[in-house]
Homo-oligomer: A and B are copies of this chain.
Amino acid sequence: MDIVQVAKRANVSTATVSRVLNGFPGVREKTALRVHRAIAEMHYIPNPNARSLRVGRTRLFGLIVSDVNNPFFPELIDAFESLATAEGIEVIFTHTNYDLKRLHSSIRRMIERSVDAIAVMTSEVEEDALQQAVQAGIPMVLMNQRKLAHKYPNVPVDYSAGFREALEHLLSLGHRDIGFIAGPQSLDSARGRKDAFTAALKSHGIHVRNEWIAIGDLRVEGGRKAMDALLARSPRPTAVVASNDLMAVGALQAAHASRIHVPRDLSLIGFDDLPIATMVHPALSTIRHPRREVAARAFDLLWKTVQGESVAEASALQPHLVIRNSTAPPAGLKRR
């Protein structure tokens, strides 16, 4: 009964202390001052559990990502957490390790903790899991889930725009023979990127050669193997776009191992703009995934929903090409 002590010391009722605490209007300045002094003197800290029990809100948001160890996520987490902190919201954070069962239990845990809202920032989702939050009446937002965009709030990202930019860069350098390293086509997100890439190719009237498309596991190792496959083709592409940076790094290593100089003999573009993109040699040109903006949009949407504000349908976020040192005119062209 700690607010009671403060009330006693300030010679007011607990109601008044509560009003001062919450900055409600209609407290005489002199009274408020007395209360503030009492709070300070007693080092009083309100009990958030009691408060939550009363008002039914916890000022706790849940954030679920696929994998902390994936260097894609830290920036997203960072951005989300900073915004939350600024609004006095605490974040409970967890990751699914790409496991839909863990998504299910993560959402359940968040509901049990009675968070006010949940951001599901995983690459893969499952409706079953999401339905739990819907039933509990907890606002939720997804990251770029095309298929579910009509059923759940969603932060869309326009991958196509990114690939178009990358392609235009390669074309302007003189490349026409362009390969692609895709992710496992069982994943919706990987299919989305591949489709976006081939669409971009076609829109420039370039023929899509299936033998110049290799599949990797989205990790460095997969990129290496995929690039080895592409290098074995004859003819081989003069430029390769990888659907994520991790595979682009693997591709770079494969080129190294085959004594193929990047960018002189082969141009390479990644996707995501992970911190490693600047750490490899040569520094990787890559399409930056606007993940800070994704986090900001997601938080904003949840925050507004929790406040009872209506949320307008959002336009897709645009990725942009970051040109570094892994692209150059094709070798043939240079020699002319």
Enumerate chain A interface residues (CB-CB to B < 8 A): 43, 45-50, 52-53, 58, 68-69, 71, 73-75, 77-78, 81, 85, 90-95, 109, 111-114, 135-136, 220, 249, 252-253, 256, 275-276, 278-281
CB <8 Å contact, A49 and B92? no
B93 touches A47 (CB 8 A): no
Which listed residue, B74, B92, B279, B280, touches A74 by the CB 8 Å rule?
B74
Which listed residue (B48, B85, B275, B279) contacts A69, Cβ 8 A? Answer: B275
Cβ of A126 to closest chain B Cβ, rounded Å: 19
Give the dominant DSSP class at A's interface: helix
Are A68 and B58 in contact (CB-based, < 8 A)? no
Question: Bound state CA distance, A77 and B275, in angstroms?
Answer: 19
- Cβ contact within 8 Å between A90 and B113: yes
Q: How far is the CA of A90 from the CA of B77 in the complex (A)?
A: 17
Given the known A-B contacts A78-B68, A114-B49, are A220 and B278 also in contact in the complex, defined by CB atoms under 8 Å? yes
Known: A49-B50, A69-B74, A92-B93. 7 other contacts (CB 8 A): A49-B49, A69-B75, A85-B109, A220-B278, A220-B279, A280-B281, A281-B281
Determine whether the beta carbon of A45 is less than 8 Å from that of B93. no
> This chain: how many copies in the complex?
2
Bound form: Cα–Cα A81–B45 in Å: 27
- A281: chain B residues at CB < 8 Å are 252-253, 256, 280-281
Residues of B within 8 A of A78 (CB): 68-69, 95
Contact A92–B91 (Cβ < 8 Å): yes
Q: B276 near A48 (CB under 8 angstroms)?
A: no
Q: What residues on B are CB-neighbors of A50 within 8 Å?
A: 49, 53
B47, B68, B280: the one contacting A279 at CB < 8 Å is B280
Contact B253 A48 (CB under 8 A): no
Cβ distance A311 to chain B, nearest Cβ, rounded Å: 26
Task: State whether A279 touches B92 (Cβ < 8 A).
Answer: no
Nearest 4 pairs of A and B residues by beta carbon: A49-B52, A68-B74, A49-B53, A49-B49
Task: Say yes or no: B279 contacts A45, CB within 8 Å.
Answer: no
Min CB distance, A255 to chain B, in Å? 10
8 of the cross-chain contacts (CB-CB < 8 Å) are A68-B78, A68-B81, A71-B71, A71-B74, A81-B95, A85-B94, A93-B93, A253-B281
- Chain B residues lying within 8 Å of A94, measured Cβ to Cβ, are 81, 85, 91
Distance in angstroms from A107 CB to nearest chain B CB is 12
**Contact partners of A81 in chain B: CB under 8 A:** 68, 93-95
Q: How many angstroms from the CA of A68 to the CA of B47 in the assembled complex?
A: 29
List residues of chain B with CB within 8 A of the CB of A220: 278-279
Q: Looking at the assembled complex, report how far the CB atom of A117 sits from the nearest CB atom of chain B, in whole angstroms.
A: 15
Residues of B within 8 A of A113 (CB): 48, 90
Residues of B within 8 A of A52 (CB): 49
* Most chain B CB inside 10 Å of its own CB: which residue of A90, A114, A136: A90
